[in-house]
Amino acid sequence: MADDPQRNFRSTYYEKVGFRGVEEKKSLEILLKDNPLDLEKLSTFSQRFPLPSVYRIHVWKVLLGILPPHSDSHALVGGYRKEQYQDILEALEVMRYINSSTPSTHIYLRMFQLESQVLPRCSETSPPDEENEDFLSISRAMEEIVDDSADCYWLIKCFVNQFQTKFGDSVPHLPKSLEHYLSQEEPQPLNHLKHMGALGQMPYSLWTNILPDSLIFFRVWDKVISGSCKILVFVALEILLSYKIRLMGINWPEGVVKFLCNIPQENTDAIVTKAIDLWHKYCGTPMHTL
């Protein structure tokens, strides 16, 4: 049967303005009705397509192991998670690590430290420092889309744990990957950064939150949570490509670091879209069948 020109036009238009076709949404709805949920197919879907915001939190909780694959247990397990959150919160209050004026992101940090058995002695407690900034940045970003504090903590905790355990060995190699792909796309800014000695001082510790204040960045987190750490390389790559003229005009490493730590927010949508395109270009798409 011949293709419907009107349907093809609509599909092309929707993709250009950032919306996915109705078929993808229906596919996700079908996947979420399975019991048990097929985690491989769910992961593949979130790598191929941006998750609709109405489903994002639920899918993340499943992929991060906060909720089990059996959907008929979600309500029960979700209740247990909230109870555990409340128990940890009350314990920290009793031990006087937190109070009513403690910022929520600092509360999440203390809860994470307590569960990880690295909570400092109360007498030695000081405000979170640079060592904790990555955790706090992720917490601030997560709070932008998660209203429930218990859900927010569990997502932060499991996201950080997944990143450390699943990608901990890969992260040290990401800078070399960035250099490789930058040499393929635009060798001139790479040579400039090398010449001034800036590559060794790049803010690589910001892999997970290069654009922490933009809701657009959650399209990247979709892919990280579903198992693709390498997408972060292409976000960094597209930032360098998008601001190559500005970077070429900076002649000292500290200036490069300062600029990259304060990326302008007005172009984040285009940066993430182009980064995902580059990821597809070099890494392809998952081959599993939905």
Condensed to tens digits (0 to 9), the pLDDT of residues 263-290 reads: 777 778 888 889 999 998 998 655 443 4
> Residues of the chain with pLDDT > 70: what percent?
85
Structure tokens, 210: 């290069």
Contacts of 269 (CB under 8 A, 6+ apart): 18, 214, 216
Q: How far apart are CA 43 and CA 262, in angstroms?
A: 32
Please report which residue ranges of the chain form alpha helices under DSSP H.
5-16, 22-31, 39-48, 53-63, 74-94, 104-115, 133-143, 149-167, 174-185, 187-195, 218-225, 231-242, 244-248, 253-260, 268-283
**Residues 9-33: tens digit of each pLDDT:** 444 434 443 445 567 788 899 999 9
C-alpha 108/C-alpha 128 separation (Å) is 11
The chain-wide mean pLDDT, for the chain, equals: 85
Secondary structure element (H or E) that encloses residue 52, with its range: none
State residue 125's pLDDT score: 72
- Has this prediction a pTM greater than 0.75? yes
CA-wise closest residue to 182 among 192, 172, 197: 192
Least confident of 70-74, 107-111, 218-222, 249-253: 218-222
- pLDDT at 85 > cutoff 80: yes
What is the rounded CA–CA span in Å between residue 51 and residue 260?
Answer: 28
What pLDDT shows up at residue 14? 40
**58-78: pLDDT as tens digits:** 999 999 999 999 999 999 999
Rounded to an integer, the average pLDDT of 28-54 is: 90
Average pLDDT over residues 43-48: 89
Q: How confident is the model at residue 241 (pLDDT cuts 50, 70, 90)?
A: very high
Taking only the tens place, the pLDDT of each residue in 89-126 is: 999 999 999 999 999 999 999 999 999 999 988 766 77
User: What is the CATH code of the structural domain delimited by 25-166?
Assistant: 1.10.8.680
Domain span(s) for CATH 1.10.472.80 in the chain? 171-283
- Region 219-227 average pLDDT: 90
CATH superfamily placement of domain 171-283: Ypt/Rab-GAP domain of gyp1p, domain 3 (1.10.472.80)
Under 8 Å between Cβ of 244 and 289: no
All CATH 1.10.8.680 domain ranges of the chain, comma separated, are 25-166
Task: Kindly state the DSSP code that residue 281 receives in the 8-state scheme.
Answer: H
Q: What's the average model confidence in pLDDT over 172-178?
A: 91
Counting residues of the chain whose pLDDT is more than 90, the rounded percentage is 54
Tokens, residue 193: 């950064």
Q: 224 with 163: CB under 8 angstroms?
A: yes
